[in-house]
Structure 1
């Protein structure tokens, strides 16, 4: 497989996961604000922090109003992490490689792109927002189904899965990082203590994990239990450990890459050995930062091994460079 194609498939998976997770975040946050008591407002800035986009946001907007944040995250094409941008990037990738991809997948992604172009702005107000976000999430889930059912599960599919699961692991840790900082600050207000479980529920719902969590834990939502489920569970598809195990399984089917295996093994060991009761009291933010740095190291190792070259080869050689299947 051409390295260019492998790179495209990897980023196709990442963009699809990014668009889906961003849509879920905006939808769940809108509902969370309705569940909190009067006088308590989390604002909209945490959503920008989750995506690490504060610099780009503040360069164009003066405040973190609901209208500005929602526009920035859903339809702003100048924001590379917005839903519209992620879908547009994914569509462009699929357009360039569609000869080797299921035709139904192209038609579905193109329809989703056209929806965002033509009707995205109309679904920004709160009354219409949930319908638009649901269409995005359902459309991407349908696309995953089309790719999984109709695409050959060969080396290209493994690169697609690498991107999807690496992006999901990154988004899971980002959501936990920002939400948990808010929860820790709540401990200083005794009047807010009874409502802490509401925000933990929003964390689970952001990842469509609430029902699965209740099946496993069979108890009221709590911080340590939610962290254990979203980070250590080996069976829930959006938990960090599940995603890392899937990445390991995909790498095992590709040409050897020791540089990727090392940070992957280190992160899995950190998650497996974590004491979340102790980390919630002190050090969880720094611990999650270390996990996110490790995820970045995995991406760098994958890019260097499969998608980039050291400049020794000629441009013609670069164009013909292949990844062995």
Structure 2
């Protein structure tokens, strides 16, 4: 497999996952903006900190108003992590290898991009922000469903899935870091914020099945970090990432060896997660635990880039 093809496949997975993840976050945080805690614009600044660049935002917009934040994280072409930019990146990579991918995938991603690039902030706020972001989420779910239904389980599939699950693990780890940071600033638990975190990964119902009415930081961290059956947990994502690396079979022995080493690294992270206990999740140690996991994900991404596409680097969220 040519490096250009491997690169495009990997980043199709990453950018499509990033777009869906950000759409979920924006939708949920939008609906807690009028809570007492968030009435001073705090929820908007949290969104920027989680999926954007605070310094770049302030330089361009100055204040955390609804219009400015939604423009920056949804439609700003100059923000490399806006929904429009991520959709465009996924579409561009898909276009570069269009002859190697099912036509359904191009039709879905191209349609989403063409729809999104014509939108303005007033299209979000004047109608229903929830329906706007839900449409994006549903379209990307359809994209993933089409890929699952029609792509042969060959190298192309495994590269896309490797990008998807590496991105998912990184996004969730950053979200958990943000939650811990906000929790540490308060003298009380932020119940709306904790619910928002669960809902942003569609994990509220699954969480309730396991923990019933108990909603606290430790339980949420444990669920999102260590649950092996919830598809958006870190543990599930790392398991899937290891499986994707193991599924890649290449003719070049040197590249095959490099992929095998990536699978071993993912397996090591999976084993570390399986060995974690309550002490690793306690405040004080949790921050270093999350950072170590994020560093491991960044290392896998860097090694993937070095092996298959060393000529240029894509944008890291």
- TM-score computed with the length of structure 1 as normaliser: 0.86
Indicate if the aligned counterparts of 2:239 and 2:267 stay in contact, CA closer than 8 A. no
Does structure 1 residue 154 correspond to structure 2 residue 154?
A: yes
Equivalence for 1:317: none
Equivalence for 2:308: 306
Indicate if the aligned counterparts of 2:9 and 2:159 stay in contact, CA closer than 8 A. yes
Q: Which moved more, 1:199-208 or 1:213-222?
A: 213-222
Report how far residue 248 of structure 1 moved.
0.5
Indicate if the aligned counterparts of 1:15 and 1:89 stay in contact, CA closer than 8 A. yes
Query: 1:269/1:90 Cα in 2 relative to 1: closer, same or farther (>3 Å)?
Result: same
Report how far residue 175 of structure 1 moved.
1.0
Unaligned runs of 5+ in 1: 310-325
Does structure 1 residue 206 correspond to structure 2 residue 200?
A: yes
Which of 242, 245, 251 is 1:248 aligned to? 242
Indicate if the aligned counterparts of 2:87 and 2:113 stay in contact, CA closer than 8 A. yes
Distance across 2 between alignment mates of 1:92 and 1:51? 21
Tell me, what secondary structure is at the counterpart of 2:42?
Answer: coil
Tell me, what secondary structure is at the counterpart of 1:67?
Answer: helix
Does structure 1 residue 223 correspond to structure 2 residue 224?
A: no
Tell me, what secondary structure is at the counterpart of 2:215?
Answer: coil
- TM-score computed with the length of structure 2 as normaliser: 0.88
Query: 1:28/1:200 Cα in 2 relative to 1: closer, same or farther (>3 Å)?
Result: same
Indicate if the aligned counterparts of 2:48 and 2:69 stay in contact, CA closer than 8 A. yes
Distance across 1 between alignment mates of 2:243 and 2:289? 25
Does structure 1 residue 119 correspond to structure 2 residue 113?
A: no
Report how far residue 122 of structure 1 moved.
3.6
Which of 226, 246, 265 is 1:232 aligned to? 226
What root-mean-square deviation, in Å, do the aligned CA atoms of Structure 1 and Structure 2 show? 2.2
Superposed, 1:1-325 pairs within 5 Å as: 1-36=1-36, 42-51=42-51, 53-125=53-125, 127-186=127-186, 188=187, 193=188, 196-254=190-248, 255-257=256-258, 259-261=261-263, 263-276=265-278, 279-308=281-310
Query: 1:276/1:125 Cα in 2 relative to 1: closer, same or farther (>3 Å)?
Result: farther
Report how far residue 58 of structure 1 moved.
3.0
Distance across 1 between alignment mates of 2:107 and 2:38? 45
Task: For residues 159-218 of structure 1, give each alpha carbon's deviation from its aligned partner in whole angstroms, at most 9, with x where no partner exists.
Answer: 0000000000011111111122112222x2xxxx3x633321111101111011112223
Query: 1:61/1:120 Cα in 2 relative to 1: closer, same or farther (>3 Å)?
Result: closer
